[in-house]
Amino acid sequence: MKAALWYGKNHVRVEEINEPKVTKGNIKIKVKWCGICGSDLHEYLGGPIFIPVGQPHPLSGTTAPVVLGHEFSGEVVEVGEGVTKFEIGDRVIVEPIVSCGKCPACLEGKYNLCSSLGFHGLCGSGGGLAEYTVFPEEFVHKIPEGMSYEKAALVEPMAVALHSIRIGNFKIGDTALVLGSGPIGLATIECLKSAGAKLVIVLQRKSIRQEYAKRAGADVVLDPNEVDIVEEVKKLTNGVGVDVAFETTGAQIGFDIGINSLKFEGTMVITSIWENTVSFNPNTLVFTEKKIVGTLAYRHEFPATIGAINDGRIKAEGYITKKIYLDNIVEEGFGALTGPEKKNHVKILVTPDKGLL
């Protein structure tokens, strides 16, 4: 079968590999659509980050090259021994967590914090940028009737945003600042509005992404090249600052503006994956009892996210800006997301089935 494999920084290629075999407790999925994630871009531009190189991943037992892709939907074509929840023909989404199930975090149900954590599509256990993949039944979810395969492929990034809101203890009526309006930033905006945010302010430099942010539900969009964001946030919140800030840029400017825009006892949630370190003075937290908290992926949010998209509370409209064939992923996928047109794109979906285009 065809699959997109990561070999190294700026080195992804589509190759023929062996089709995976279904095993006990697992289901085999024929992939319909798979999104290219910001994590994939980080691996492409600055990796390895999550991808095992040199030393095998403790759970997959493999090293690079690895099959990419973790935001995907597909159809069940085979079920392994002991599988009870799925049948051939079921339409499904994969929650791409690879966890041990035995460490303290897993035993507390916090499988996204597994001491050996991996992600399908990054750790070498297979991935969605392929014709077929195999995954454990416990991390597979059915697509509701009426939801398209394309929209189902958006559940994973929306679940990231929903989890970040929960980690930030965001409450109905709170105010928020979202730093950046890439795919996760936009998902965060939309989830905040569906969660009852009183005010959502967004930092976004001038580009079409400002319009994307407004479409997602942003009340105010500010360009740091044009205004003092912290000053404007204070004006919009009666001099207090926002309750919660969500950092999705992975840049020092987002980190700094996020902390300085918080009210006393406010919380900054860091959703972004970082390629470089940042510096800050902890007195910023000490003198105002502000908090910084990290958030990773999701746990137990997929059912809620699927339900919210299915009933329209989260519209997830306008996110898909391009659909491409797997064979063309390097030029039309990674090239588009890292080249001159990158600001125009939110989510590029990839299919191994040319008939779907």
**CB-based contacts of 24, cutoff 8 Å, min separation 6:** 80, 81, 82
pLDDT of residue 287: 97
pLDDT of residue 249: 95
pLDDT of residue 284: 95
Question: Which of 121, 119, 101, 120 shows the shortest CA–CA distance to 111?
Answer: 101
**CB-based contacts of 219, cutoff 8 Å, min separation 6:** 199, 200, 201
Q: Give the Cα separation of 113 and 115 in Å (integer).
A: 6
pLDDT of residue 275: 82
pLDDT at 150 over 90: yes
Question: Which of 181, 207, 79, 69 shows the shortest CA–CA distance to 125?
Answer: 69
Domains contained in the chain, CATH given: 2-154+319-356 (3.90.180.10), 158-294 (3.40.50.720)
pLDDT of residue 96: 98
Q: What is the mean pLDDT of residues 137-164?
A: 97
Q: Give the Cα separation of 219 and 100 in Å (integer).
A: 42
Q: Which amino acid is at 135?
A: F
Q: What percentage of residues in the chain have a pLDDT greater than 90?
A: 96
Whole-Å CA distances, 355 to 73, 97, 152:
16, 29, 18
Q: What is the mean pLDDT of residues 202-208?
A: 96
pLDDT mean across residues, the chain:
96
pLDDT in tens, 280-326: 999 999 999 999 999 999 999 999 999 999 999 999 989 999 999 99
Q: Give the Cα separation of 107 and 100 in Å (integer).
A: 10
pLDDT in tens, 78-130: 999 999 999 999 999 999 999 999 999 999 999 999 999 999 999 999 999 99
**CB-based contacts of 233, cutoff 8 Å, min separation 6:** 177, 201, 222, 241, 242, 261
Whole-model pTM: value is 0.95
pLDDT in tens, 45-54: 988 999 999 9
Q: Give the Cα separation of 338 and 43 in Å (integer).
A: 12
Whole-Å CA distances, 90 to 28, 33, 204:
11, 15, 40
pLDDT of residue 209: 95
